[in-house]
Amino acid sequence: MIVLAKLNALEILQYEKAIMSRADSIKTLYQELKAGILSLTDIQEQVDMNKKQVLDLHKKMYNYWQGKNGKWYSYLPKERVEPPKGKQIEIVNEEKLNNKIIEYYTNEESRKKQKKACPTFLEVYYMWRSLKDLELTDNSIYKYNTDCKRFFEDTDFGNMPINQMTENTIRLFLLQTVKELKLCKKSCSKLLVTSKTQFVMQELKRLSLIIL
């Protein structure tokens, strides 16, 4: 097993962008096949080329190896875990592992496109803050900014479309954040207050979703 060196933030961003671009190409080719625009013969070479590029880029980001038990392993992106590690996956053979990796990236690209149709938690939060800050002191604004950065920035929850938020997703986020950040009682209170700010309650109510 070759252990990859840790990448810096710019390298991670560049690799992720390149992978998603190729994953999008695969998705588009299959859509054109389904629509009858292209035949399987027309797209097969392009699909295979894009799949190979996705795998090559993935292997530059994440550890990829065969275990002594004969099974194959790698990692997929995981919140708050930087490459070359992430969410470990274990598959019985290399071909199925490669298919699992490609499936993840093509589905992730589709998910990101769908998210653009509805504002995310952070997008609505910042819209609400643009008005709320007019009522706050500089000290309060600083505290809001600090709490937001600590709890929500660069998280799946912060980037989640409002219309996908349910009681379970909110509870799961709160419990995971308390555990991962080892929050004390005071910090838990800040997290709860920030999570249940007026804009969230209004948006979830408007969309007929359940809140805590």
pLDDT of 98 > 90? The answer is: yes
Q: Give the model's pLDDT for residue 113.
A: 65
> Residue 204: its pLDDT value, please?
46
For range 156-167, the mean pLDDT: 81
Task: Say what the pLDDT of residue 66 is.
Answer: 94
In whole angstroms, give the CA distance from residue 130 to residue 133: 6
Let me know how long the chain is: 212
Q: How far apart are CA 200 and CA 18, in angstroms?
A: 34
More reliable by pLDDT, 110 or 95: 95
**C-beta separation of 139 from 146 below 8 A:** no
pLDDT recorded at residue 158: 86
pLDDT in tens, 8-56: 777 887 888 888 888 888 888 887 777 777 777 778 888 899 999 999 9
3-state secondary structure the chain: CCCCCCCCHHHHHHHHHHHHHHHHHHHHHHHHHHCCCCCHHHHHHHHHHHHHHHHHHHHHHCCEEECCCCCEEEEECECCECCCCCEEEEECCHHHHHHHHHHHHHHHHHHHHHHCCCCEHHHHHHHHHHHHHHHCCHHHHHHHHHHHHHHCCCCCCCCCEHHHCCHHHHHHHHHHHHHHHCCCHHHHHHHHHHHCCHHHHHHHHHCCCCCC
Please check the confidence at residue 160 and state whether its pLDDT lies above 50.
yes
* pLDDT at position 79: 81
The span from the CA of 20 to the CA of 98, in Å, is 16
Domain ranges of the chain: 9-115, 121-206
Say how many CA atoms lie within 13 Å of 162 toward its Cβ. 21
Could you tell me the pLDDT band of residue 186, with boundaries at 50, 70 and 90?
low
- Per-residue confidence band for 212, with pLDDT thresholds at 50, 70 and 90: very low
| Statement: residue 62 has pLDDT above 90 | yes
Q: Looking at per-residue confidence, does 191 or 95 come out higher?
A: 95
Q: Are the beta carbons of 101 and 58 closer than 8 angstroms?
A: yes
pLDDT one-digit tens code per residue, 65-82: 999 999 999 999 988 888
Which one has a higher pLDDT value, 96 or 209?
Answer: 96
Between 39 and 64, residue with greater pLDDT: 64
